[in-house]
Amino acid sequence: MRLILVRHGQTSSNVAGALDTAAPGASLTDLGRRQADALVDAFADETFARAHASNRVRTQETAAPLVAAHGLTLEVVDGLGEISAGEHEMGTSAEAVRAYVGCVAGWLTGDLDATIRGGETGHEFLARYDAALRAVAERSTEGAASLVVSHGAAIRAYVGIRAAQADSDQLAGSRLGNTGGAVLEGDPDAGWRLLRWSGDPFGGAHLADEAAHDVTGESAEEAVEDAEETSGH
């Protein structure tokens, strides 16, 4: 199966640097809607069999233009949601951001037992994301791609842990901007091969917002620096 994982478009929480991980979450900003619209041209030559999104508003709004352009029906899969921020939900402090990105970075280096209070372990995240993509694979069509619109930390962690050819250290230190993502080939049982990683929006780097405090899309180091700057320590 050819799987195209796309991070959602920009939200007000991405601009503010808030750990917005719970459902339903924030809607897209004006820029986020332009990023979503640009996906139509970015994937104009792609044949999609199905389209899937998490149960967060922002992923469904991001998928909408592609779904309409390809005549698809959007299928919502709960297991595709963002990695939980637990007790730090909607947090913007350096402490909250450091705990969150540190947990995800730990998973990428093999510590799947790492968690934050009220959140999930790496084992729990992988179990529910594997199950979600297994459901996607069961609905896939040979010769066509399956679209999945998901979230920054979730895509980074899953690809870094599960995909061959993926350098987990490099992914931990790289940016995954709004409507950036990854192209994978394979399935949850046989394994995944990383064909492409796009830290910039698939629609083009001109759609990136360099001024946003995008803590779930920035590298761990950038996210903490942004949070310290915002909180003043």
| Domains in the chain with CATH codes | 2-231 (3.40.50.1240)
pLDDT at 60: 98
Q: What is the pLDDT of residues 204-216, one digit of tens each?
A: 999 999 889 899 9
Q: Is the pLDDT of residue 223 over 90?
A: no
Closest CA to 19 of 79, 77, 103: 103
- pTM summary value: 0.95
**SS3 of residue 174 by DSSP:** coil
Let me know if 89 is exposed, middle or buried by CB neighbors in 10 A (0-12, 13-18, 19+).
middle
Amino acid at 165: Q
**SS3 of residue 220 by DSSP:** helix
Q: Is the pLDDT of residue 232 over 60?
A: no
Place of tokens 């979503």: 36
- Return the percentage of the chain with pLDDT > 90, whole number: 81
* Cα radius of gyration (the chain): 16
Contact 114, 84 (CB under 8 A): no
Binned at pLDDT 50, 70 and 90, residue 141 comes out as confident
Q: What is the pLDDT of residues 82-132, one digit of tens each?
A: 999 999 999 999 999 999 999 999 999 999 999 999 999 999 999 999 999
Please give the Cα distance from 3 to 163 (Å, whole number): 12
Q: Is the pLDDT of residue 233 over 60?
A: no
pLDDT at 128: 98
